[in-house]
Structures are given as C-alpha cells and as structure tokens.
Structure 1
Amino acid sequence: MKRKERASALKWFISLGLVVGFVGFLTFHGLELGEAADLSVPGKPLEKAFPNSEKCKRCHLRVFEEWEASAQSRAIVTTPFRVSLDRYLASADIKERGLCFRCHAPHSLDYQHELPRFIKEVQSKDPQIDGVGCPQCHLIKSVDDGSHPPVPHFQLGTTIFGGYEKAAQNLAHQSEKLPLFRQSQFCVTCHERMPESSNTPKSLPDWLGDWKQSKAEISGKPCQSCHMPEALDESANGEKIRKVANHSFPGRFGKVRAEAVQLDFTTTVKGDISEVSVKIDSLVPHNFPLPHPGWSRLVVDLSILGKNLKRVYNEQRFYERVLGGVDGKETVFDFEAKKVLKDTLLKPDESRTEIFTFPTPKDAPSMDVIVTMTYAPLHGPRDFLTQIEQEAPLGSKDRAFQTVQIAHKKVNVSLSK
C-alpha cells in the first residue's frame, strides 16, 4: 500500500513540475496566464493551420500573382517594418512584444506561443512564413467589433471563407460564403488603429477618420469596392468566368490612386505678385493618407517655371499627422506617440483650398504653373533612414524611398501686358 502511495505522490510531483515548467516557458517568452487572450495551444502546428500561400497558387494562380505584387504579401518582409520592429522590441514591455504582429501577422493571435518564432522570421530578413497571406484572411469566420481595433476570429479547419457563392467542388477544401467578406468591417480589423498597449494613450485618434459617415459607406460602397475592384476572370484555375475581386489591393500603388482626388487651380497675376488658388477635392472615404505608418505624408508641390523654363519658385504643403513622443519631440513611430502635434490630413470627402503667393517672374513672356500631389518617400530620424538604406536589398532605390504621383496639372500663363 505504501509503495502505491509513493508512486502516486511521485506522479503528482512530476505533473506539478511539468505544469510549472510550462508556465515558466510561457512567462519567459513574454506570455502570462493572466492575460485576457486565450493562450491555449492550437491542436494544429502553425504550418498546418496557416499554410504558406504558395500552396494556394496551385489552384489560384491569378489570385496568387496579384497578392504576390501587393503590400499585404510584404507585411513582415519590408526593411522599414523589420527596422521599426527592432526599435519597438528594444523598449517594449515583454508582455506586449506581439503588438505589431496583431496586424502584420494576425494569425499570431491564435499562436501566441510561437511569438519568438515570428520575431526570428522577421529578423532573418527572409521569412519563410506569411504575415498576411491567403489563410490569414480566408480563415476568418467572424469579427468582434466590440473592441478597437476589432478582433478577427479564425476557424481552423478545412473550410475556406469568402465572398462568392457556388464555389467549384474540390479536394483541397470546403468553401463557404460569408457577407463579412464584402463589408468594410472585415478590413477595419487591421486598418482602424494601433492595438492598445500600456504605452499608447487611448486618446490618440483612429487612422481612418469618420469613414462610417462617408458618401461611399452610406451609399453601400465598402472598402473592397476600391481596394478589391471586381473584373471578369476566374477565381480558380479552369473555373467559369465571372466577376471576381482583385487581390493586389491597390492603394498607394495601383490605379486607384489616380481616382483619389480631383485637383484644379486658377492663377491670378497682380503686378509683381501672383497667386495660385489650388482646389483639392478628396474622393476618399477615409483620412488621406492613412497616418500609419507614422511617416505617411502627401505633398502638394507648386513649381513656377520662368524664362527658359528655369524654375524660379517652389513651395510645398504637407498633409500628414505629426506625432509627439514622451519628450514632446516629433516621432514617426506610432508606438512612441503620446499625442498629436499637428494634423493636416485630408478628412473623408473633404474639399480644401490652398493659396500660394509668389513673385511674378521677370523678363518672361509667360510662366508655367505646375501643381503636383504625391505620396512622399519615407522620412524620419537619420539613423533610421541610414539603417534601412544599408539593409534594403535595393538600397536607396527601395520602394519606400520612392515618390508616387497622385495628381498633376500644368498650365502656361501669359505675362504679356
């Protein structure tokens, strides 16, 4: 009898040791059982639950190629993200090290125990897992919009969710249509605001602005109508032709930016002083640009060409949200922000007039008035920009350093008396 009791006690101590060891493992990796999130380990390994999008390519070649060219496919790949992540991790509370992955790799919500791996994948400069790929969107069954940002809930199984009816029968997965995939609420899960943290004030405004009251949303045009425009094509290889959504998610890059604003101007010559009045109508149902990342900025540029087409005047106006850090100084990093120092973003559906005054060019029969709106290239602290330039495969030619044109107009104005 005593032998049985000793064996039972031994089993109890072994079990206790395993539990304590597991809790210690979680705590060491920045996770505590007291956190609100469910830290239970999913039954499937990460690669089984969220396979690489390359696997989807076999049957969905068109969609894969569009996605591969998108910003979403580079969610954890870009050099600016990797350098920003390292900067964040250097000062983040150990319990909040997964904050960036909440949107850049949303499946990390279900695989928090894999957080060290997510971080190592990014820091490797060649991640072998996707941040935002096919399953990261198409395994979302519902969205909890009671929190900000809303939280996606994944159903890990053999069913893929989407916006289409009557999907072709196949051996790879089942398909189910959900209205959610044609609603703005689906996109807002990652595009509304920074996830809350102990370091981020709740008073910081959302990124989108009052999008729910925009003309587009009220008229029934969700985010997808611009950022996933439909065209006649096949969803899967060999499937019947029908209207399908584009998966390149045009925005900063893509044709949709040409429809973002209407830009016009008038020029008045008043002797030695001239004036240009620029009218800008935003056709975008959200803040423009979205103020994330914190270096997002639009530039309205006025250039005046005088005699021999020489530029004699130039002035720029910036549309951006300028953030202030703990010391009150400007910062381009959301995770350092404590307040908004200045906000000149174009608001949803806003019309704005910019007045420029300048000396009238002398000894010239006419002048060229040129107004251009562009997405500005990456800007920020010198050491931040230098590190990105050094680590990016294309160096200073990396896409982050590119200026992207949105609108342009040029008019020749006579100066003859």
Structure 2
Amino acid sequence: MAGLVLTAWVVFHLADVVGFAQDGKSPVTMEKAFPNSSKCKRCHERVFEEWETSPLSKSIHSPAFRASLDAFLASAAGKDKALCFRCHAPHVREFSEQVQVFIDQAKSGDPQMDGVACAQCHLIKQVDRTKQPPEPKYDSPGSKILYGPYKDFAQNLAHQSMELGLFHKSDLCLNCHQSVPSAANLGKANDLLGNWDQSQAVKAGKECQSCHMPEQTGESANGEKKRTVANHTFPGRIGKLRQEAAKLDVKTSIDGDKSTVTVKVQSLVPHNLPTTHPAWASVILDVDIKGKNLKTVFSDKRVYGRTYQDAKGQNTPFDFEAVKVLEDTVLRPEELRIETFSFPTPKDTKTFDVDVTLSYAPVTGPPAFLQRIEAESSKGAQDPVFQPIEIVKRTENIPISK
C-alpha cells in the first residue's frame, strides 16, 4: 500500500518538479523541459513504435536495473545518487537536485517519466569530449529546438528543428557508452568499448549509427514523404544485428583415441565483445560432443568477459564496487581468438557430432541479487535476462575412420 501511495505521489507531483534555465532566470518544469515520448508519438508514430521495442526504452524499467540501483545506493559509491541516472535518465544532469524523484520513479516499477527517449537525445546540442566520460550539453531547459541529422526537416508547430552533424557521429553515443563507474581507477581494464577508434570499421568511416541505427526507407513524421531515415530499435545484443557480431570456424581432427576441436572466434564488431557493463555481461563459447544416440560425451566452454573483486576480496558483478580486475578475457575490437578443445574419441559409433555455440550469457551474480531480479520481474524466473541469447552456431558430423 505504501508503494502505491508513493507511486501516486510521484505521478501527481512530477509535473511540479522545477529546474532553472542556464541563465538562472526562467524556472521550467521537468515535463516542459523534457517532454514525455508519448507526446512525440502523436507525430512520429513509426519512430516511437521502434523505440518502444528497444532496450533504451527500458533503461529505468528493467528488473535488473532496479535491483542494481538498490545495490548501488547501498554501496559506498551510492553517495552520488545521480550517477546511474546520468546514463539511464540523462536529463538528471539538468535536474540534479531532484534526483530522489528519479529514484522513486525507477523503484516504482512503472515509471511515468522516460529514461532514455526522444528528448533525452534530440535536445543534445554538443558533447564535450574533453570530459571523461564525454559529457552531453543540453540547450536551456524549455528550449523548443530539437536537433537531428536531416537537412530537409518538415516545418511544424510543435517544435523547431535543426540539422546537427553530431547526429551522424559516434560522439553522440559516447557520453553513455564510453566508460563505466568503478570504485577504483582500473585504467584501460575497465574501459567499456576498448580501442574502438583504432578499428578497421572506424577507419573505413563507420560510426556507431552505421550498425546500431541502420538506414531504412520510411516516414520520419506521420504523413511525410518517404525518405532515408534511421532505425530506432537500436539493434545490438537484442535484434538480428547480433548474428553479425562474430563468426566461427570449426575444425576437428582425430588422432586415434584422442580428438581435437579447434575453434576460431572472429569478432566482427569495432568494440569489445561483450561490452562489460555490468560485469555479468559475458559471452560464452560452448562446445558439445555427442556420440552414440546423440548422447553428450564431452562438453567445455570459454567465457569472454571480466571478473571483478570488491574491497572485501569477494567477486562482484558490480563495476561500481570493483577495486580489482581478477580476469579479463574480453574479445577486443575485431579480435581473432583461437580456442582448442581435446577429448577422448567417442567409442561404439561411426560418427560423432560437434556443436559449437557462441551466446550472450544469462545474468549472473550472488544468489540474493538474482532472487531480487526474479522478484522484481513480472515474468519471474522466465524473464529473458535469465536466458542465453545465441549469436552464432555451427554443427558438424565427423566420421571416424576405422
């Protein structure tokens, strides 16, 4: 009952949250400064529907975020209450004194405010790359100028539009996707993307948007003529784009009673795979050998990710608690990794099957944390976060010579 009252209070009073424009003269409500995406839907239905299916739309909605937020606020790093929201709801930068509203909204489980939505991106006028991580600069709260990549924007009464080259560049994404919080200076080992700017893809002129906002033909606004527009589902770990993240080359050799499977894992992305924020984000290479009657006779795996240790010497999935990197097996941008698996040659069969699968791993962490996510989710243990997501799979049938 107390939770319902709190949620009702936040919803009722959200429109009354007031901030001040940068000139210190004009008080503006949060809703006026950063209109809810539902208002944008009236004219941009296609974009809204795409965004609604994306991970960005769930930036403060997901059970994993709520469970992580509680852990963060209870930690030493939690004194900076706005830290998580600077990426998960970037407009907290303009309303930092109202951070408790952001916390209450996220904890409600049904936030009435957006986290990362239309206004949080399209009001960015500049990104300061001299800061680490890079820092977005917004127009004064209440500005009606929305920025985007188009020259031929349509005139309208809802807002002014302005073309900005920033929206064609990776800089736009870096303020949230460049680095992660940590309890200690972990240097490059804690870098989120790796040396992405030295990758072949970037040298060939690709930006983040090239893959994560692919071009398509459609309407930007309802009833507008069709043209080249950006996709707003933000494919990546979710979406078909992940099938282009890596490729596998599998070779099997038999030497009497011993067999060997050699797997070449080629990352095809210009950033770390996975991007390890939080630390439970890992990719797993599974190898299964099936002998007679398709019975598994051997299995092994390789885990690509980072293992962090906290100040108490315990492993932690939270980078904000990390003081040490115990292990770092992340695939670097466009890296080729060669893995070898040896096992006894299956007996009593003329052939055996080799199954090799590269997947994003389910969420991992202390039992209490996983139980909290399960309790927060309407789907319980069936929440997708507990399931692996296949990237690529190879299956081969290997004959055994007699």
Q: Is the 8 A contact 1:39 1:112 kept in 2?
A: no
Residue 406 of structure 1: which of 372, 391, 395 is its match?
Answer: 391
Tell me the secondary structure at the aligned position of residue 27 of structure 2. coil
Residue 228 of structure 1: which of 198, 206, 213 is its match?
Answer: 213
TM-score by length of 1: 0.88
- Structure 2, gaps ≥5 residues long: 1-21
Which one-letter code corresponds to 2:135 in the other structure? Answer: V
Question: Where does residue 33 of structure 2 map in the other structure?
Answer: 49
Change in Cα spacing, 1:202 to 1:415, as seen in structure 2 (3 Å) is: closer
Shift of 1:380: 0.2
Question: Where does residue 251 of structure 2 map in the other structure?
Answer: 266
Q: Which has the higher contact order (CA 8 A, sep 6+)?
A: 2
Q: Is the 8 A contact 1:377 1:402 kept in 2?
A: yes
Shift of 1:43: 2.3
Tell me the secondary structure at the aligned position of residue 44 of structure 1. strand
Change in Cα spacing, 1:308 to 1:93, as seen in structure 2 (3 Å) is: closer
Q: CA RMSD in A?
A: 1.5
Shift of 1:339: 1.6
Tell me the secondary structure at the aligned position of residue 322 of structure 1. strand
Question: Where does residue 133 of structure 2 map in the other structure?
Answer: 149
Question: Where does residue 239 of structure 1 map in the other structure?
Answer: 224
Residue 211 of structure 1: which of 196, 202, 216 is its match?
Answer: 196
Shift of 1:293: 1.5
Shift of 1:51: 1.1
Cα deviation, 1:359-400, whole Å, max 9, x if unaligned, reads 111101100011000000000000000111122100011121
Question: Where does residue 180 of structure 1 map in the other structure?
Answer: 166
> In the aligned structure 1, how far is the partner of 2:382 from the partner of 2:211?
28
Bigger Rg, which one: 1
Q: Is the 8 A contact 1:39 1:110 kept in 2?
A: no
> In the aligned structure 2, how far is the partner of 1:356 from the partner of 1:304?
10
Change in Cα spacing, 1:270 to 1:385, as seen in structure 2 (3 Å) is: same
Shift of 1:41: 9.0
1:254 has 2:239 as partner? yes
Change in Cα spacing, 1:401 to 1:215, as seen in structure 2 (3 Å) is: same
1:116 has 2:116 as partner? no
Q: Is the 8 A contact 1:102 1:195 kept in 2?
A: no
Change in Cα spacing, 1:47 to 1:92, as seen in structure 2 (3 Å) is: farther
Which one-letter code corresponds to 2:175 in the other structure? Answer: T
Which one-letter code corresponds to 2:362 in the other structure? Answer: P
Residue 164 of structure 1: which of 129, 147, 150 is its match?
Answer: 150
1:127 has 2:119 as partner? no
1:289 has 2:283 as partner? no
The percentage of aligned residue pairs carrying the same residue is 52
Q: Is the 8 A contact 2:186 2:324 kept in 1?
A: no
Tell me the secondary structure at the aligned position of residue 395 of structure 2. strand
1:397 has 2:358 as partner? no
> In the aligned structure 1, how far is the partner of 2:219 from the partner of 2:36?
21
Cα deviation, 1:268-317, whole Å, max 9, x if unaligned, reads 01111100000111110000000011100101000111001111111111
How many pairs does the alignment contain?
378
Residue 339 of structure 1: which of 311, 324, 327 is its match?
Answer: 324
Residue 190 of structure 1: which of 162, 165, 176 is its match?
Answer: 176
Q: Is the 8 A contact 2:181 2:320 kept in 1?
A: no
Change in Cα spacing, 1:40 to 1:322, as seen in structure 2 (3 Å) is: farther
Which one-letter code corresponds to 1:219 in the other structure? Answer: A
Cα deviation, 1:101-158, whole Å, max 9, x if unaligned, reads 1100111001011101001101111111001010000000001111111000111311
Q: Is the 8 A contact 1:42 1:110 kept in 2?
A: no
Question: Where does residue 11 of structure 1 map in the other structure?
Answer: none
Q: Is the 8 A contact 1:318 1:344 kept in 2?
A: yes
Change in Cα spacing, 1:49 to 1:167, as seen in structure 2 (3 Å) is: same
Which one-letter code corresponds to 2:148 in the other structure? Answer: G
